[in-house]
Amino acid sequence: MPDFACLNGQIIRIEDAFVSIEDRGYQFGDAVYEFIESFNYQIFCLDEHLKRLETSMELIDFPSVSIPELKDQIIKLFQVSEYARAGCYLQISRGVEPRAHSYTNRVPPQITMTIKDLSRLDTDVNTKGIRIRTCEDYRWGMCHVKTVQLLPAALEQHRARKAGLADTVFISKEGHVLEGTCTNIFMIKGQTLITHPLDNHVLPGITREVIINRICKKEKIAVEERPYQIHEFYHCDEAFLCSTVMKIQPIIQADGEKIGHGVPGPLTKKIQAFYDQLIYRS
């Protein structure tokens, strides 16, 4: 089965999909995106992804697109792929027009999607934990918008992987723990999950939302959304990263400092199990 793309509503083979060199996503990073997964042929959190996409577009003055039509195209692409376990990358740019910093919003947004088989990439739940590093945040000031402007994230994830680590977590100039290169981060003290509140420094992650609103509320697990300093993080009982792609990854070491007992903690393991139940029941 070939991999497929959807280019402005038309489903074609991925190798036949091309966009103009004057696409603003290519020229200026003037584009937003989402990554949506399916499990056992069921798309997980599609409406949540589309709501965030729509919000991102509104925040950077994009012309509107029909969300119901976009949803239908996404569902059709999943169906055509016939993959039980699939990942759809969706990107919307401001469109194609002669290169200039100022935009007109008079051209149609360019909508591209690709879909890939993820079954070979899946691994068992992480029972060993990961090690991370931190660095001072130097990204742009609208991290709550999911744009393709990801150069600092790409650089810092590369530096982490080059050092044999799983990810880099950005720390504000005030010393607050923000988020990873493509992940939200939680620490645990006692039986309470603590994570940075949603603002312009943190992406409103879908997995973050699922953990807080669908797992912790149901299981009566306490959650605090508040800023916290890096030294407080070093001395927490447990910690984990989370994202659509990475799921839930227990942190056992940060900047060479052991987190908790240096092994995945019991509450993190419970949340991993609850999340696994959710995604395969979707």
Is 146 an annotated catalytic residue?
A: yes
C-alpha–C-alpha distance, residues 132 and 251, integer Å = 7
Q: Which of 76, 116, 146, 162 is catalytic?
A: 146
- The token pair that represents 41 in the structure block: 């042929």
What number of other Cβ atoms are within 10 A of residue 198's Cβ? 15
The conformation of residue 221, written as its DSSP 8-state character, comes to -
- The token pair that represents 63 in the structure block: 């012309």
Q: Is 52 left (phi over 0), alpha (psi -120 to 50) or beta?
A: alpha
C-alpha–C-alpha distance, residues 31 and 36, integer Å = 17
Contact 156, 137 (CB under 8 A): no
End-to-end CA distance of the chain: 25
Catalytic residues: 146
